[in-house]
Structure 1
């Protein structure tokens, strides 16, 4: 009896093991079949709309930019010559400068999403791509083209820019965030006042933001980034602002300034390097405190300081009437009396009393040369 019982138990164990193995095999087969079915359906859909195989390129394009039609033609031609799937195009609108379009491109399965426009389009596309791992390509078509300049990408040749989009390398860069935590009493409050705005180059409070806010759009279309300097001339004799600055977990510091800028990288149009120590993927932001006294003489000295530091020359002597001081931080909170204009990558945020900025290391993948 014990032997018979043991034999029955052994048979049951064998049957259970066999059934388990069969079940596992069925599950594995179903998963494989399902996966193959999904892939087959995806490939069939791509084949129907001409996107079978190869890199799926999506271009978020600002149709108001001069040369937008040429950009579209060049992208289509280069993709056809490279035997790539037909590129997808998504036009920006006044209500949506590119974030929604970039998200639709992701949902449509794009391998690379290209921002074809100015700094506003780049910011909007980056907003959708940050944290996704999907690379962003750049076809500069704006006034400043700040990110492209800092990444040494072509800013005057669409074919060269497209060549990098198709054949370049991917690089993870930091992104900055800026939030207005308190607006001035007479400020126009946006519908989304708590938004953490992305910036890829520089956020600022004070003179630089006032210059951006006052730049004439028609003049920008005619003379490009020079329009910002024309606007800035109107603020040369403006008052210095009283700012309280807190970096990371340090103590708050009071200062009299013309402008304070928090940068992810520091190269501006016209060969100007405002933040010579800024590195776009070091996990930190560079903070520049800018001040002048003595009228035009102070501004002249400040301009000389900016030019000299771009050449690697620093002058730290005290008593200067135009100066720019640098430090680094992962987070900065700036508070000013009565409110000052704020901006991110050339887009005005309004009159802010307090601006909070921070860095998100390696959050955005960019296609570079």
Structure 2
């Protein structure tokens, strides 16, 4: 999305705020290192030991688990001892400043009003007959908590609230038949995908309102997930662009489909009621010593056949995975390809954690990533566990994935942040800081 020639005042203020927060965070770190030069590296080493031991405890049973838990607890106690009250306050302050700097940088480096051009985002007028479908149970009741029905009515948007037993696709199709010219969904990513598919089939603009639990789709659209009602501004003067969708079989998804460990865990009966304890109980059988490998057959990044993976992720667009902290975010939603990642852990848990800690995740021996417009996963099992946009499904094999380039017209508010966090991170610290200085000085800060 191109930036305007002269950044708007709110972007310049955000750039100054991001630079000040970044400078303050660096000053705190330098001061801490000056006072206690050995404390920080010792703390980081103990944290690494804690993570490795905790993972070892998760994937083993018996005495191995007991010993690993003891090591993890001892290392964690060491961290607490090293982090005195002053150190803890400084750590919290640095984290807070980093959050402020990232949020402000998103606003500063995101473009508010793009210039129209062929295939680019463009400014569009308000909807004439906007419709918003709402799932009142999603996100712990965000529809009611953020008064979305009342806000929609105030903006001239027709609200349709799901009732028990309603068919969401049928409601969306009926809204289109009744003359909706913009249709949206307030709910989780699974519901977003379903209504987006209806919008795609009728070539109507779609509005995403992040009223779910995690709202990954909204994050990658550059929306503010904390200000749910603000997304309704997309029914007024807004930015419209085309983005990709993906298919598994005939089912559309907006984020990703996951196979292997995660998909199997979320499929279990007790997962919804006790997520942590269920995962802990299942991990030794899934990735521990003696675990049966997953029967997942596909063509790998090098064109050779692969017969297993502990994690297989097929995404609508490419996920940024240089660092596990970036897992779940994408820089672009219009690349026209599927992102594919496979991870085979085996006995290399320590290697995986070391690769993550050094920022070299892609160099882990069991990690592979590539892109393709289509992808097929086969198995000796007639049905396999698949997590599609967070929903636990069992789908028949072979699974056929396909990208639908530019399939969806999506509208976002003019004052939305405009860039996912990974977009700023991907630019690199040097480029991002340079962009912030340019925006603060009143020049184009595109990175």
Question: Which TM-score band (shorter chain)?
Answer: 0.5 to 0.7
In the alignment, does 2:254 pair up with 1:200? yes
Q: 2:158: which partner in 1?
A: 87
Pick which of 252-261 and 144-153 moved more: 252-261
Deviation of the 1:278 alpha carbon: 6.5
Q: 2:61: which partner in 1?
A: none
Rounded Cα–Cα distance in structure 2 between residues aligned with 1:92 and 1:167? 31
Contact map agreement 1:59 1:88 (CA 8 A) in 2: yes
2:327 to 251, 269, 274: 274
2:344 to 267, 291, 302: 291
Q: 1:363: which partner in 2?
A: 407
Between Structure 1 and Structure 2, which shows a larger proportion of strand residues? 1
Rounded Cα–Cα distance in structure 1 between residues aligned with 2:225 and 2:277? 18
Distance 1:93 1:308, change over 3 A: farther
Q: Secondary structure at the match of 1:144?
A: coil
Deviation of the 1:325 alpha carbon: 0.8
Rounded Cα–Cα distance in structure 2 between residues aligned with 1:79 and 1:307? 49
Distance 1:230 1:59, change over 3 A: farther
In the alignment, does 2:298 pair up with 1:254? no
Q: Which residues of structure 2 form unaligned runs of 5+?
A: 1-125, 417-447
2:176 to 106, 118, 140: 106
Q: Secondary structure at the match of 1:263?
A: strand
Q: Structure 1-normalised TM-score?
A: 0.65
**Larger RCO of the pair (alpha carbons < 8 Å, separation 6+):** 2
Distance 1:77 1:287, change over 3 A: closer
Deviation of the 1:242 alpha carbon: 4.1
Contact map agreement 2:133 2:161 (CA 8 A) in 1: yes
Rounded Cα–Cα distance in structure 2 between residues aligned with 1:122 and 1:212? 20
In the alignment, does 2:316 pair up with 1:264? yes
Deviation of the 1:365 alpha carbon: 1.4
Q: 2:144: which partner in 1?
A: 70
Matched length: 280
Contact map agreement 1:150 1:267 (CA 8 A) in 2: no
Contact map agreement 1:267 1:275 (CA 8 A) in 2: yes
Distance 1:147 1:240, change over 3 A: same
Q: Secondary structure at the match of 1:102?
A: helix
In the alignment, does 2:206 pair up with 1:161? no
Distance 1:290 1:72, change over 3 A: same
2:372 to 329, 336, 342: 329
Rounded Cα–Cα distance in structure 1 between residues aligned with 2:234 and 2:221? 12
Rounded Cα–Cα distance in structure 1 between residues aligned with 2:234 and 2:332? 21
Rounded Cα–Cα distance in structure 1 between residues aligned with 2:375 and 2:386? 14
Q: Structure 2-normalised TM-score?
A: 0.54
Contact map agreement 1:201 1:345 (CA 8 A) in 2: yes
In the alignment, does 2:272 pair up with 1:217? yes
Rounded Cα–Cα distance in structure 2 between residues aligned with 1:242 and 1:290? 14
Rounded Cα–Cα distance in structure 1 between residues aligned with 2:137 and 2:329? 33
Q: Deviations over 1:191-244 (max 9, x none)?
A: xxxxx1111111122222113323733457xxxxx7996687464434322432
